[in-house]
């Protein structure tokens, strides 16, 4: 059974993926998991950069901005998954950790892209 929060999160992730693709990023993985760690999107920018993306979608900013909900624990798990993916794929290029903060807007979505967020 799907909840409204889950549906909002899925819609936000779709919007994030479309946004990044429109900026020239290529999708490599969606929902990449390693143990308890999950990376929403793994994108490639050019030939030398892997971007690990945490998508945070909120229905409003009433209780805070979406990007502020990325905890230290989430960052640790994110790094762990990134290390595993690098080893698994023998990636030797650079990596970056981004956050996409998404809230509904009159014209669709308000998307803020925080590059190299942590």
Report the pLDDT value the prediction gives residue 28, as an integer from 0 to 100.
96
Phi-psi region of 92 (alpha: psi -120 to 50; beta: other; left: phi over 0): alpha
What whole-number distance in Å separates Cα of residue 53 and Cα of residue 62?
A: 24
The whole-model pTM stands at: 0.91
Residue 73 has pLDDT above 90, yes or no: yes
Q: Using one digit for the tens of pLDDT, what is the confidence trace for 15-62?
A: 999 999 999 999 999 999 999 999 999 999 999 999 999 999 999 988
- Tell me the average pLDDT of the chain: 94
Counting residues of the chain whose pLDDT is more than 70, the rounded percentage is: 98
| Domain housing 102 | 4-64+73-114
Number of domains making up the chain: 1
What whole-number distance in Å separates Cα of residue 108 and Cα of residue 118?
A: 27
CATH code, domain with 45:
3.40.1350.10
Report the pLDDT value the prediction gives residue 2, as an integer from 0 to 100.
67
């Amino acid at each position: 059974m799907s909840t409204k929060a889950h549906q909002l999160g899925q819609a936000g992730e779709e919007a994030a993926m479309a946004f990044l693709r429109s900026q020239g990023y290529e999708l490599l993985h969606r929902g990449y998991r390693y143990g308890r760690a999950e990376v929403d999107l793994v994108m490639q920018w050019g030939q030398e950069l892997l971007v690990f993306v945490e998508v945070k979608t909120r229905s409003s900013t009433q209780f805070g901005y979406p990007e502020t909900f990325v905890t230290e624990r989430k960052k640790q798990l994110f790094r762990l998954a990134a290390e595993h993916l690098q080893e698994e794929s023998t990636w030797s290029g650079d990596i970056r950790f981004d956050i996409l903060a998404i809230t509904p807007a009159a014209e669709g979505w308000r998307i803020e892209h925080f590059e190299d967020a942590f």
